Structure 1
Amino acid sequence: MKNNDLKSTHFSAEIEQLSIYDYDKRLGYNPDFLGSSYSVPHPYFRPDLKEDIALLKDGSTILDYTHFSIVMSKSRRLAYYTVVNIDGALLKEVKRGKDSWYIDPRIDACEQTGPELYAGNDLDRGHLVRRQDPIWGEEANQANEDTFHFTNCSPQHKDLNQKTWLDLEDYLLNNTENFKLKATVFTGPVFGSDDPDYRGIRIPKEFWKLAVMVKKDGNLSASAYLQSQANLIRDLDFSFGDYKTYQVPVTRIEELTGLDFGELRKHDPMAKPRAAMLRIVDFEHENHLPLL
């Protein structure tokens, strides 16, 4: 798939809001997408985090969009995690368009982070569910629009969002498309106690992804990745330092986030690693444990 996501989100975009009724047909993430034998449910929250989950106005906790879903944090005003179904055999090309960003009316606006955070600095509106991931099937155009919700973005320094993060996203999406695979991808920030405050929002220093798919041998694979922007956000007017991607055990993501991914940790190629983490130098030459 050609990459047309290189355009920076570092710009003035139109802000819109749909009617709450416009979301009635959004079915969201399907836990049985990989097959009934490989059901992948939403993660469980550590008990002390449950009170911080933003509630929808109907009292539920999951924001459903087209082929993906999101659970939000009230205190951080960002997503705890997103989860998307990707069908590599049905992916479509959809142009970005005018990039209108939406406030989701199903939760209070004060529990979302809007455009004011991203103005006049080096922070991008970093898509958590990558724009291209849910764009497949008959609902491709709707899925494209749905990714432009503020609930689906998190503040990422432009050098992370447009370089290291993009390389990881390309690797995951290219695998699903090239091999015509289905995949489930969880994504989110790490909410650290020492995350810096900027314009009233604490900026995550780390982000993670957990990619789940059925391997060629018919077994499930769950691979976790961790990236840091700590050096990049020390001073948002001056970027310095390096940024790397690490493949880590699923249990490491659980420790950092307070999320419990259950059976997925049993299908992790890093479950019995030679090291606690593996630095990825080059996805193309696979100096890491491959997905398949």
Structure 2
Amino acid sequence: MNPTDPPSPSQPQPPSPRAGGPRRDALADRTGYDEAFLGPVVPLALPARTSVETVVLPYTHFTVVFRPDRRLAASAAVCIEGRRLIEDAARDDLWELDPRLPEERQAGFDLYRNNGLERAQLVRRQDPVWGTVAEAGQAHTDTFFSPNAVPRASHHAPSPADELVQGRRLWQGLETYLMDHVAAFDRRLCVLTGPVLQDSDPPYRGVQVPLRFWKVVAFMQDGALAATAYVLDQSPDLGRDAERALAGAKAGAPPPLGPFRAYQVPVSDVAEITELEFGPLPDVDLLPPMRAPEDRWRRLESFDDIAMQG
């Protein structure tokens, strides 16, 4: 048969996972986040909250804990093997709905159409891309399923020194910075992340848009478990934006969102604002205790501001 001829009926071809959406069984072999990734002595469970319904969705090297009532993830957890990262893995940046969930329970493509919101990944595309070439390519593709996306402000600042750009770069580069500061012979991280889901989050197109995001990073340091935690805040200045918010709500516009502000915070504070369980991580936090409550959240202007010694 000529290579350009279509396949004959007697030679059935496997359906493409990208043709008309992935098949429901296309994700059946995913094993997800490994709780014992940092060692069997210090297993780290998925951040959990038993008072609300969630669906656990395993992918390649990461898992999303999804909240159908919010149409967004409650948390995500990824294993990063720094020594085996593959930088030139095959790229496939096409966003897909997860076939394991009803379409109407997912925040689909309409949420991001013709507005100032961007579809931001909870698990960065480069974080789970390690292992064999096939594993790495599959992991990259898996980060583009919609449960791994959250709505964030799409700021286009005019200057690299602008605080909008600084906050974004700090947040996006946290894993890379921390991996470079973990012992060279190890370079393993478990990154737990998600939006802060509150009842007061502003609604837009059937989805309540979160105003803050959190990240807890766990690793081994000097033979012991260690952790640091961070919050990215895009809350608007209510005094400045109240009138714009009211006008936007009447016009069906997305809620006004403020500049990205990044903080290093106590792991226990992340547990409090999310109502999630983080196992042993609050007790191994490297952020020194602050005497004054107003100093508990350390504003990050650069990576040099991150505390790495408990």
TM-score band, normalised by the shorter chain? 0.7 to 0.9
- SS state at 2:74 partner: strand
1:243 to partner: Cα distance: 2.6
- 1:129–1:223 distance in 2 versus 1, CA, 3 Å: same
Which of the pair has more CA radius of gyration? Answer: 2
Between 1:16-25 and 1:245-254, the stretch displaced more is 16-25
- The one of 135, 144, 151 equivalent to 2:147 is 151
Mapping 1:1-292, distance limit 5 Å: 17-45=21-49, 47-49=50-52, 52-53=53-54, 61-94=55-88, 97=91, 99-138=93-132, 139-159=135-155, 164-176=167-179, 179=184, 181-215=187-221, 217-231=222-236, 234=245, 241-270=258-287, 272-274=289-291, 275-283=295-303, 286-290=304-308
In the other structure, the counterpart of 2:14 is: none
1:227 to partner: Cα distance: 1.0
Q: Is the 8 A contact 2:170 2:262 kept in 1?
A: no
- SS state at 1:142 partner: helix
C-alpha separation in 1, matches of 2:137 and 2:99: 20
2:235 alignment partner AA: A
- Structure-1-length-normalised TM-score: 0.83
Q: Is the 8 A contact 1:84 1:133 kept in 2?
A: yes
Number of residue pairs the alignment of both structures matches = 266
- SS state at 2:44 partner: coil
Q: Is the 8 A contact 1:94 1:135 kept in 2?
A: no
Q: Is the 8 A contact 1:206 1:229 kept in 2?
A: yes
Q: Is the 8 A contact 2:86 2:136 kept in 1?
A: yes
Question: How high is the sequence identity, in percent, across the aligned residues?
Answer: 33
- 1:291–1:81 distance in 2 versus 1, CA, 3 Å: farther
1:201 to partner: Cα distance: 1.0
Q: Is the 8 A contact 2:195 2:213 kept in 1?
A: yes
Structure 2 segments unaligned to the other structure (5+ residues): 1-17, 157-163
Between 1:233-242 and 1:181-190, the stretch displaced more is 233-242
C-alpha separation in 1, matches of 2:300 and 2:101: 38
C-alpha separation in 2, matches of 1:102 and 1:230: 28
Q: Is the 8 A contact 1:250 1:271 kept in 2?
A: no
Q: In angstroms, what is the RMSD of aligned CA positions?
A: 2.6
User: What's the CA shift string for 1:151-197, capped at 9, x where partnerless?
Assistant: 00000111299752442231322432573500000110011222111
Between 1:81-90 and 1:262-271, the stretch displaced more is 262-271
- Structure-2-length-normalised TM-score: 0.78
1:280 to partner: Cα distance: 0.9
C-alpha separation in 1, matches of 2:73 and 2:255: 26
Q: Is the 8 A contact 1:15 1:101 kept in 2?
A: no
C-alpha separation in 2, matches of 1:130 and 1:206: 17
Q: Is the 8 A contact 2:92 2:140 kept in 1?
A: no
